[in-house]
Amino acid sequence: MELMVLLNALVTRLLFVLHSLIGVWRVTAVKKEPKYWLLALLNLLLCLETGVTLKFKQGRGYKWFSPAIFLYLICIVPSLWLLEIHHGTQYCGNEPGAVQVNVSNQDFNQSRDSSHGSEGTDHHIIQTAKVFVNQLSTICETVWTLALHQTFLLLLVVGRWLLPIGVEITRDQLSQLLLMFVGTAADILEFASETLDIEDVRKNYALINAILAVWTWSMLQFPLDLAVQHIGCKLSPSARRIPSLLLCRYSAELWNIGVSLFIQDGPFFIVRSILMGHFRIFNQMLVFFTAKNILVVTLQLYRLAVITLDFRATVLQKSRKGEACCCPCEPYEAHAHATGHQENEMKEFVAFPPKEESQAPSEDH
């Protein structure tokens, strides 16, 4: 097992565990009940997955699916749900917070002076750590919740980058996947923060649960790698029907369209339409992002129509020529076979020159 692969696998999963523990700590601090520390037991699933991956896959990833990302979602999403549901119980007073921070800074200066005078460097480090923790506890709890959302999405992208890739995915495909994840994470963060910050939404408990359910549903695209990988085209002659061939040729494009319509932009558009149509909630950003979702859904449907018409034209063209409708990977294989045959003929031509050139020296002799 390569040392770098092992290090990346362990460090990434350690970051996942630490971030989920911070989320559990914030839930315990907000709810003021130690029983919520039981949420930390979910990290045992991630530890178990780490051992299985190191033993059977030598630390590398799987094809089409990332168990580490999926288990990280299981560990952190319940904490974010609890923080958002009990958002109204979180304090966020500006003046009390500022007073507490000033007092903490004064304590920090006093502890620094006393440490220089008597205790020494060790006591100074301990006092600095205590003051730092006290200052963190005075930060507005809603700011903590937003920070957990932001770091959660950033860690999903960075973690997917650091996780060792399997043999089925290339570096080029991984780079495409990461760029897609960055845009996806920005849209998801905007959806959660923009809708849940509306005052009328905070007064409706059922609406909060619905928005969080759609937000959780949109997260399920991160463990999957189908957006940049094509499904294998090894189909039997009896199974070569039009839908199978279409999925074989445009698997990655169809997956992107499906994610946009059924996992991200489609559900986001439905939620925002309900907010404006049924609950009569209007603001400038809500209208803008609703229009953006409509545009994306329309373009995805247009892309689906273009793909279908192109594939239909290809099938009709082959049927008119009397050719069998085959999977698009087979022409590439045939082309490779033809190229190899031409190379063999070229080698034979070099090894055995034409007869006219071979007979010319005999006539001169």
- Does residue 156 surpass a pLDDT of 50? yes
Q: How far is CA 49 from CA 1, 45, 195, 216, 219, in A?
A: 17, 6, 35, 22, 20
- Does residue 52 surpass a pLDDT of 80? yes
Compute the average pLDDT of residues 118-144. 70
What angle, rounded to 10 degrees, do the helices at 251-262 and 284-320 form?
150
pLDDT for 92: 61
Beta bridge partners of residue 65, listed in sequence order? 224
- Does residue 300 surpass a pLDDT of 80? yes
List, for residues 157-167, the tens digit of each pLDDT value: 999 999 887 66
pLDDT for 28: 93
Compute the average pLDDT of residues 44-53. 92
Mean confidence (pLDDT) of the chain = 78
pLDDT for 225: 77
CA distance 363 to 365: 5
CA distance 32 to 349: 85
pLDDT for 232: 55
List, for residues 25-34, the tens digit of each pLDDT value: 999 988 889 9
Q: Which two tokens stand for residue 86?
A: 């009990």
- Does residue 204 surpass a pLDDT of 80? yes
- Does residue 154 surpass a pLDDT of 50? yes
Name the more confident of 144 and 363. 144
Among the residue ranges 85-94, 112-121, 268-277, 336-345, the one predicted with the least confidence is 336-345
pLDDT for 359: 45
List, for residues 206-258, the tens digit of each pLDDT value: 999 999 999 999 999 999 877 666 555 555 544 456 677 777 778 888 888 99
For residue 87, give the nearest of 228, 217, 197, 242 by alpha carbon. 197
CA distance 6 to 306: 44
Name the more confident of 131 and 360. 131
List, for residues 190-200, the tens digit of each pLDDT value: 999 999 988 88
Q: Residue 42: which pLDDT band, with cuts at 50, 70 and 90?
A: very high
DSSP secondary structure, 54-118, as one string: HHHSTT---SSB-HHHHHHHHHHHHHHHHHHHTGGGS---HHHHHHHHHHHHHHHHHHHHHIIII
List, for residues 304-356, the tens digit of each pLDDT value: 999 999 888 888 887 777 655 555 444 433 344 444 444 444 444 444 444 44
pLDDT for 246: 77
pLDDT for 120: 55
Distance between the two ends of the chain, CA-based, in angstroms? 67
Compute the average pLDDT of residues 116-129. 64
- Does residue 106 surpass a pLDDT of 90? no
> Among residues of the chain, what percentage have pLDDT more than 70?
70
pLDDT for 332: 37
Judged by DSSP in three states, 7 sits in helix
Q: Residue 69: which pLDDT band, with cuts at 50, 70 and 90?
A: very high
Among the residue ranges 90-104, 122-136, 183-197, 307-321, the one predicted with the least confidence is 90-104
- Does residue 297 surpass a pLDDT of 60? yes
